[in-house]
């Protein structure tokens, strides 16, 4: 009997110990894509520990997700073509709306757009959105070329123009989706084309630009711009806004600006999603719901310089960001945006090879 009682006691203690285990949520997000106060605020309120890792390209995230065991509970892919392709591959689990109390705060226009790829918005909700465009050092660019076409892709895509800035430094995103589509747009072709002829034309053109590009990287250009180490970057809108703010705070006389190309820009919505392999599903929903609070989303938008997918957050976003047409553009500019659809496996292989040739210059 004493053995039975002892066994029951151990079982109860074991159960209590299991229940007392620390709750955790593993988050994988873009670098420089959250307000620094967000994670500590969530942990203090909920007692859930956040293990927070970062990446700087959709390709890196996708490689982890497609293994089927990424180890993450919340990820932030760009909606199209990445999330769409991953959703078709069964990478994500549906969201439980009952666990996301702030669902009704989301921007219905963005939700309608996402529903074209994710019917009923079952698997994703918007975090932030922005464009790919031109970041530049105002003084350095003017010194080299006073009449530089700052609002045009020609600044980066015309070999005769971009070559003039090679010495002061040019960087581009390490992202074939962003750069090749921009090259196609500059060439007057469909940026969403899946034809080999268009891909070859874009790659051939980028080969002419390649000798004048110092580096392809999807996050280093932020500090490179802010520190005055480069004069031009083809990058993400919010990243360049962050570079602008860092340069201003450093008070070293570096002035950074951002322009949305007049030819048109890639419009990208980054979404919050839960991988099918997630182990901490309740905690993942709690973290997403916290991010969807208007005040939390507004703080993030104000800090990182991207437009929030949360309509209720807009009045709380810092005026300097909310009223900046580079972050929240007028409709006439939005009308020139384009989006990308997923290509099939054969096209993706061709694009990967083309991008490797561009980056290596071979």
Q: What would the DSSP string read from start to end of 317-343? A: S-HHHHT-TTTS--HHHHTT-B-----
Residue 78 neighbours by CB distance under 10 Å: 24
Residue 30, beta-bridge partner list: 55
1 located within any domain: no
Asked if 238 and 348 sit in the same domain, the reply is yes
Cα dist from 283 to 90, 93, 104, whole Å: 21, 14, 20
Structure-block tokens of residue 232 = 């031009």
Quick check: is 4 in a domain? Answer: no
Same domain for 275 and 196?
no
Query: What CATH number corresponds to the domain at position 272?
Result: 3.40.190.10
Tokens at residue 137, please? Answer: 């050092």
Residue 84's domain comprises 21-129+268-329
Pair (118, 73) in one structural domain: yes
My answer on whether 228 and 322 are in the same domain is: no
pLDDT in tens, 14-43: 444 444 579 999 999 999 999 999 999 999
Q: What pLDDT score was predicted for residue 113?
A: 87
DSSP state at residue 22: P
- Specify the pTM: 0.86
In a domain, 13, yes or no: no
Q: What is the pLDDT of residues 316-342, one digit of tens each?
A: 999 999 999 999 999 999 999 999 988
Per-residue pLDDT tens for 253-274?
A: 999 999 999 999 999 999 999 9
> In terms of domains, do 218 and 313 share one?
no
Q: State the alpha helices, DSSP H only, in the chain.
A: 2-19, 38-46, 58-65, 84-88, 108-115, 138-144, 154-157, 159-162, 176-186, 196-209, 220-226, 237-250, 281-291, 294-304, 319-322, 331-334, 345-360
Cα–Cα distance measured from residue 275 to residue 250, given in angstroms and rounded to the nearest whole number: 39
């Amino acid at each position: 009997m004493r053995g039975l009682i002892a066994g029951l006691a151990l079982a109860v203690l074991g159960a209590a110990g299991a229940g007392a285990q620390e709750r955790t949520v593993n988050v994988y997000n873009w670098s420089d894509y959250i307000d620094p106060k967000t994670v500590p605020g969530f942990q203090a309120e909920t007692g859930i520990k956040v293990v927070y890792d970062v990446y700087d390209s959709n390709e890196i995230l996708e490689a982890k997700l497609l293994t089927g065991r990424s180890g993450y509970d919340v990820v932030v892919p760009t909606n199209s073509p990445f999330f769409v392709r991953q959703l078709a591959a069964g990478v994500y689990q549906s969201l439980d709306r009952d666990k996301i109390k702030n669902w009704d705060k989301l921007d219905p226009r963005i939700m309608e757009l996402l529903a074209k790829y994710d019917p009923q918005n079952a698997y994703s909700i918007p975090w932030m959105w922005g464009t790919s465009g031109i970041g530049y050092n105002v003084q350095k660019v003017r010194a080299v070329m006073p009449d530089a076409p700052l609002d045009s892709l020609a600044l980066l895509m015309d070999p005769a123009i971009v070559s003039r800035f090679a010495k002061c430094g040019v960087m581009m995103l390490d992202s074939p989706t962003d750069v090749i589509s921009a090259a196609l747009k500059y060439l007057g072709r469909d940026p969403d084309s899946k034809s080999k002829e268009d891909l070859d034309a874009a790659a051939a053109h980028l080969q002419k630009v390649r000798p004048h590009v110092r580096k392809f990287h999807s996050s280093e250009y932020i500090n490179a711009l802010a520190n005055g180490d480069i004069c031009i970057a083809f990058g993400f809108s919010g990243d360049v806004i962050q570079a602008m703010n860092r340069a201003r705070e450093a008070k070293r006389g570096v002035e950074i600006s951002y322009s949305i190309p007049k030819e048109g820009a890639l419009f990208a919505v980054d979404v919050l999603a839960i991988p099918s392999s997630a182990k901490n599903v309740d905690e993942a929903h709690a973290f997403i719901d916290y991010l969807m609070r208007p005040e939390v989303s507004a703080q993030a938008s104000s800090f990182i310089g991207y437009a929030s997918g949360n309509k209720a957050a807009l009045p709380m976003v810092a005026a300097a960001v909310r009223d900046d047409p580079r972050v929240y553009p007028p409709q006439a500019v939005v009308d020139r945006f384009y989006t990308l659809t997923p290509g099939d496996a054969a096209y993706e292989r061709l694009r990967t090879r083309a991008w490797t040739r561009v980056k290596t210059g071979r």
